[in-house]
Structure 1
Amino acid sequence: MSETASAAVPAAAPRTHWARAGLLGVLLSAVVCLVALAFTWPSSVVEPEDVPVAITGPAEALAPVEAALDEQADGVLELIEVPDRNAAVEAIESRAAYGGIVLGEEPEVLTASAAGAATSGIMAQLHGQLQGMAQQQAAAAAQAAGAPEVPEVTVPLTDVVPLVSTDERGAGLASAGLPLVFGGMIGGVGIALAVTGAWRRVLALLVYAAAGGAALAGIMQGWLGFLGGEYWAVAGAFGLALLAMGAAIVGFAALLGRPGLAVGPVLFMLIGNPLAGTQFPPEFLPAPWGALGQWLPPGAGNSLLRDASYFPGADASFPLLVLSGWAVLGLLLLCLGRLRGRARH
């Protein structure tokens, strides 16, 4: 074989040391355990506490019902007294309460399936309790009046904010959180690796957020029918969440280099996604984890998306500020990374 031919043969890569190979296997198994723990931990610790529920009715009816509910569900409910049924409905539609109890001559339980299966389940249990209490009161009144029969009492359960007919179980709304989180990470990592130049990265982020938000809204709402609300409001919620996560990842990568790419998956997937409230609202997670989740883009994005889809009357200023803050933070980190690079040269 000639010297030219032998020179063309690439040298074999050095073999990995045995200890390093074993250590890598241990580290990867630890990562798998962390991922499994992140996705399964919330469902193992859910315990509702201070779930806001509006209640209205005559004073003589409120006291015994509130006392009974406090005794049967100690700490689970936070009963908010409102003037009338309309006020209870308004509290639910503005997301100040997850449900309502109407007492008086026409008792009724109000729920909102769009708020989530967990809270709807609590309102269904309250409906059963109120139905039993109303029947007992009717029986006592009939006995006192000497009536031969006890009248049948029916307490209606009214869904004030129902899910769309194409997603009656809410599975589609819950699944919308995954493309939101993965979309933010994919966009951030892709732009950080493929685009050079700070202003070009900003342009790529803005275009990706606008196009990605419009596309995801078209798929989740227009094609699959999983979401309600106005199309552009849903697209805006998706787009702002993509921008918040993408900008943060690009910013950390610009400042820290390749290691900064790992910050996004850790913050948004391993920490933020389990605490986002897609399956269980913040009141169902132990403090302070439920509240912490709403300060991260997955939680804020999920809340904003639910508001845009079903609760247009809700105050969305908090999730808007959180997502905008993460987007601004990412852009500031990008600028710092640019200045740091100039200083090195």
Structure 2
Amino acid sequence: MVVSVYRSDELTPADRMAWTTLQSQASCRDRPQMANPFLSPEFTLAVGSRKHGVRVAVAREPSGEPVAFFPYQRFPGGVGRAVGIGLSDCQGLVHRPGFQWRADELLSACGLALWEFDHLAAGQHPFERSATGSFPSPVIDVAEGWDAYLAQLRKKSPSFTRTTLSKERRLKRQHTDVHYVHDERDPAALRTLMEWKSAQYLRTGLNDRFARPWITQLVEQLFHTRSEPFAGILSVLYADGRPVSAHFGLRTERVLAWWFPAYDPAFAKYSPGLILLMHLAEAAARDGIAYLDLGRGESRYKDSFKTGELSVSEGLVSRRHPVAFALGKSHAPVRALADAVFSHAQLFGRADQLLKSTRRPREGRKST
């Protein structure tokens, strides 16, 4: 395996096109998770423009043709994490069908002692062997069209479906100009969504992601990102001339990732978020999306809407290295261990230098 490592902004247009092509082929070869937008070059490039250390390892044939892309973020001491960990709902290696690799060899080529993941796509066996847990990621399959999905939803969750449709009718009776915009391009609507989401985080006692400027900037950048077939999609439900619920997510050719939903609490009695998701599924089916990935995490509304589940896992894969050995001697949770490494990076400075000096030479341009 010939591996070259690049900064995310060093990838050539040809390499980015090859990456996108591998994703497109995956969606047609019963490997749907590999087509997830969080595994797209656009997401990696966007995170790389906001965070240091984002790299992409490219495995090539002797002819130079790319056969696999491995995005990661590198920290001192040879510590690696999935790109956008904590934000990304799908992680791993994007590769050609039948491509084989060894985790230790790949980490060595990347100059990593270890790599942490929390949403590893199923089927990444060299990494899955080190997983500490596996979790369902609910999906809405609309490949057969909206009518087929709605019929299935009525059968699976009849009371839920009737109630949601009834609330939309009541919303229309009691308010004016109720309509749905699938791909809203007004930045003001995105700002409204982020304000709602921040308020929701505070109400529920969760960490406010949008209090971090880099995350706000990342979402704004992805909102303006348009390539074929990747896009940031802002969907909005309006009433009385203003937004009442909204969602911002990412799409590729056949997958739409559910990411940041929120609504105006003043309209809570109508369940505007559920109404929006029904419209979103209908519009996605019309646009040729095969499924909506609702993301890891249990929720009553996800259980009601889902047609099935994919699987993601979390864990830490490592190779023989002082940093990996030090972590392996502890029984603390993976995330706590990794955070300890980052907060005491100087302790691993010499190990990092040793790692770089002993790394096997690789062909092509490379960054560390």
**TM-score strictly above 0.5:** no
Larger proportion of helix: 1
* Greater relative contact order (Cα < 8 A, sep 6+): 2
TM-score bracket, shorter-length normalisation: under 0.3
Larger Rg: 1
TM-score (norm 1): 0.26
